[in-house]
């Protein structure tokens, strides 16, 4: 497993920069917007963005997922694949524009008309932006992927703040986001799509529909699980409560989801190529490493958020959001982690086997459970009840996915690596627990740094993914000359020579 692990780690390192840098920029939107927007305005902004994301997943997600899955298979016919995807995407945008115009012709208020128009512009920009973005990822171009993400993040944060200060309120960040993605699409189209002529290959479209539409429904229903609670909170408790809940969820998704997504962005195209080239076992080996890394990234984040919610909220959220948001952050972290494991690992069983229709029924059941539990819990327990309902819905979703998915493509889950991660998390928790009451920017920075150092050292001691020896050899390259370095180096290479000798000796 050592070489695949190192390969994924190096590839994930590139994506950590390509996704992490824009993610850090976008992360600034949370402390910024929770300070310059009221709780009600932040709630309206979050609700509009959630609605656009839901429509985007329902109408356009299948195109992007099909692009990632079939670009390696259509390497000799890439232009026709791109032409079909671009034609369908632009046609869908035009159809939605006609529908939005028809709605605006009805006797509705001017505010509703402006909201519908702004949401359509944002939806069109996001659909094309995501298509260009996924092409860069599928073509293994992480630096171009980073350029697109940076342009969107800078525009959303900087221009969004300017527009809010100029009086646009909750509409400002949405318009800024649409402008940033539109400019990025123009640049990406000139580099990756200039040869595309609008046409549809029916054979290609049929394969894309068969694979992608069930996935699109799955993603849309997953977004229902992740966003229906906001709409229900707004209905039962008002837009201010929805704003508080959205701020807590946004913070978690900008940290935990981002880190787990980095592994999936790096791994899945490699696993697809391994499956197409070397078969099922090669893909399973790649996915085993993926599960180990998802655990290693996600579990310590959950533990850290659970131990330090008040300190995190005081540093990153506006004053009006802190107290209530800190109370639900640990539950949201658990739900986000479970959602990441399902989406970034266990869902791949259906995608490898081309059985994506089964995902629809699983996520539909989880969405129904989530909505029903929210309807029961929100009137009684407020946003805390909604957070518990989401965790239970994700538990139902991941259990059903594991049970059904193993029938078609068994995805290994490395228990040994899991136990090592949990042991390292326990060591980190024992360090942080006595100091969880200390708050402030400096205190939080020290807590995070010390916790990360202890966690990393514990993983190294446990020899997670057999990386201890390669890392020690790397470290010895920078160690000053001396007897200690010579003795450690001789020990390491003596072990390598012994292993090679044992492999060469006959058995019996």
* CA trace torsion 181, 187, 188, 189 (10° rounding): 110
The DSSP letter of residue 506 is: P
pLDDT in tens, 319-360: 888 888 888 899 999 998 998 888 888 888 887 777 767 777
Tokens representing 422?
């949990």
Residue 256 lies in a domain: yes
Cβ–Cβ under 8 Å, residues 391 and 252 = no
Window from 6-15, 312-321, 412-421, 440-449 with minimum mean pLDDT: 6-15
pLDDT of residue 429: 94
301: closest CA among 287, 314, 312, 286?
Answer: 312
DSSP string, 256-292: IIHHHHHHHHHHHHHHHHHHHHH-HHHHHHHHHHHHH
pLDDT of residue 3: 47
Window from 125-134, 290-299, 409-418 with minimum mean pLDDT: 409-418
Determine how many CB atoms are found less than 10 A away from the CB of residue 162. Answer: 12
Residue 475 lies in a domain: no
The C-alpha atoms of residue 394 and residue 391 are separated, in whole angstroms, by 5
Query: Tokens 């309807």 correspond to what residue?
Result: 375
The C-alpha atoms of residue 49 and residue 197 are separated, in whole angstroms, by 31
pLDDT of residue 471: 64
Residue 160 lies in a domain: yes
Residue 443 lies in a domain: no
**Does residue 453 surpass a pLDDT of 90?**
yes
Determine how many CB atoms are found less than 10 A away from the CB of residue 463. Answer: 12
The DSSP letter of residue 390 is: H
- Burial of 430: CB neighbours in 10 Å, binned 0-12, 13-18, 19+: exposed
DSSP string, 315-356: HHS-TTTHHHHHHHHHHHHHHHHHHHHIIIIITHHHHHTT-T
* Domain boundaries, position 97: 2-413
Residue 179 lies in a domain: yes
Tokens representing 425?
């998390």
Report the half-sphere exposure of 257 (CA within 13 A, side-chain side).
Answer: 15
Contacts of 259 (CB under 8 A, 6+ apart): 297, 298, 301
Percent of the chain exceeding pLDDT 90 equals 16
pLDDT of residue 447: 93
Q: What are the distances in angstroms from CA 219 to CA 54, 58, 62, 225, 370?
A: 9, 7, 9, 10, 15
pLDDT in tens, 186-225: 888 888 787 777 888 788 788 888 777 776 777 777 777 7
pLDDT in tens, 270-299: 787 778 777 778 888 888 888 888 999 999
The C-alpha atoms of residue 460 and residue 324 are separated, in whole angstroms, by 37
pLDDT of residue 5: 47
pLDDT tier at 58, thresholds 50, 70, 90: confident
pLDDT of residue 290: 84
3-state secondary structure 153-195: HHHHHHHHHHHHHHHHCCHHHHHHHHHHHHHHHHHHHHHHCCC
Cβ–Cβ under 8 Å, residues 42 and 169 = no
pLDDT of residue 313: 87
The C-alpha atoms of residue 220 and residue 55 are separated, in whole angstroms, by 8
The C-alpha atoms of residue 130 and residue 331 are separated, in whole angstroms, by 30
pLDDT in tens, 18-56: 666 776 777 778 888 888 888 888 888 888 888 888 888
pLDDT of residue 474: 61
14-38: b (≥16 Cβ within 10 Å) or e:
bbbebbbebbebbbbbbbbbbebbb
pLDDT of residue 95: 92
pLDDT of residue 220: 74
pLDDT of residue 147: 80
Three-class secondary structure of residue 388 per DSSP: helix
Window from 47-51, 196-200, 427-431, 483-487 with minimum mean pLDDT: 483-487
Query: Tokens 């290609």 correspond to what residue?
Result: 204
The C-alpha atoms of residue 172 and residue 192 are separated, in whole angstroms, by 30
pLDDT of residue 446: 93
pLDDT in tens, 72-128: 666 666 778 888 888 888 899 999 999 988 888 877 666 677 788 889 999 999 999
Start-to-end C-alpha separation, the chain: 27
**Does residue 501 surpass a pLDDT of 50?**
no
Torsional sign, CA 140, 142, 148, 152: positive
pLDDT tier at 440, thresholds 50, 70, 90: confident
Tokens representing 409?
């493509």
Residue 42 lies in a domain: yes
Residue 161 lies in a domain: yes
Domains held by the chain: number: 1
**Does residue 489 surpass a pLDDT of 70?**
no
Residue 422 lies in a domain: no
The DSSP letter of residue 72 is: T
**Does residue 491 surpass a pLDDT of 50?**
yes
pLDDT of residue 132: 86
Q: What is the pTM of this model?
A: 0.70
Q: What are the distances in angstroms from CA 276 to CA 104, 210, 282?
A: 48, 18, 9
Mean pLDDT of 373-391: 91
pLDDT of residue 431: 92
């Amino acid at each position: 497993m050592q070489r695949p692990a190192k390969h994924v780690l190096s590839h994930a390192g590139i994506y950590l920069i390509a996704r992490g840098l824009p993610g850090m920029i976008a992360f600034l939107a949370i402390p910024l917007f929770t300070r310059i927007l009221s709780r009600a305005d932040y709630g309206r902004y979050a609700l509009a963005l959630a609605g656009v994301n839901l429509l985007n997943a329902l109408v356009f997600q299948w195109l992007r997922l099909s692009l990632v899955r079939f670009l390696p298979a259509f390497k000799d016919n890439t232009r026709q694949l791109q032409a079909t995807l671009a034609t369908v995407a632009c046609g869908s945008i035009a159809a939605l524009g006609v529908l939005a115009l028809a709605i605006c012709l009805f006797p509705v208020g001017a505010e509703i008309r402006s909201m519908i128009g702004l949401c359509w512009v944002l939806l069109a920009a996001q659909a094309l932006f995501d298509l260009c973005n996924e092409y860069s990822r599928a073509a293994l171009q992480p630096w171009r992927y980073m350029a697109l993400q940076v342009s969107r993040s800078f525009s959303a944060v900087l221009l969004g703040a300017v527009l809010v200060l100029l009086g646009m309120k909750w509409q400002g960040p949405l318009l800024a986001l649409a402008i940033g993605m539109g400019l990025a699409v123009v640049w990406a189209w000139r580099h990756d799509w200039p040869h595309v002529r609008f046409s549809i290959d029916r054979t290609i479209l049929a394969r894309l529909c068969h694979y992608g539409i069930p996935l699109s429904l799955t993603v849309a229903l997953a977004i229902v699980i992740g966003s229906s609670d906001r709409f229900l909170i707004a209905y039962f408790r008002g837009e201010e409560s929805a704003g508080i809940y959205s701020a807590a969820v946004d913070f978690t998704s900008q940290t935990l989801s981002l880190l787990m997504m980095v592994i999936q962005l790096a791994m899945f195209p490699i696993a697809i190529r391994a499956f197409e080239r070397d078969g099922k076992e090669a893909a399973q080996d790649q996915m085993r490493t993926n599960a180990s890394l998802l655990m290693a990234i996600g579990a310590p984040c959950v533990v850290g958020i659970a131990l330090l919610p008040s300190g995190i909220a005081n540093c990153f959220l506006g004053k009006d959001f802190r107290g209530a948001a800190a109370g639900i952050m640990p539950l949201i972290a658990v739900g986000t982690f479970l959602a990441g494991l399902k989406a970034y690992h266990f869902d791949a069983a259906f995608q490898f086997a081309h059985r994506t229709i089964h995902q629809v029924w699983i996520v539909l059941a989880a969405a129904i459970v989530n909505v029903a539990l929210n309807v029961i819990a929100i009137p009684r327990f407020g946003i805390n009840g909604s957070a518990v309902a989401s965790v239970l819905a994700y538990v139902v979703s991941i259990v059903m996915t594991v049970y059904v998915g193993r029938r078609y493509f068994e995805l290994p889950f490395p228990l040994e690596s899991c136990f090592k991660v949990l042991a390292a998390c326990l060591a980190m928790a024992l360090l942080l627990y006595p100091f969880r009451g200390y708050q402030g920017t400096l205190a939080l920075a020290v807590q995070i740094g010390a916790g990360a150092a202890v966690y990393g050292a514990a993983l190294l001691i446990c020899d997670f993914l057999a990386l201890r020896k390669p890392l020690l050899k790397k470290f010895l390259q920078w160690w000053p000359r001396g007897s200690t370095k010579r003795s450690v180096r001789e020990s390491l290479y003596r072990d390598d020579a012994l292993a090679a000798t044992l492999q060469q000796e006959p058995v019996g």
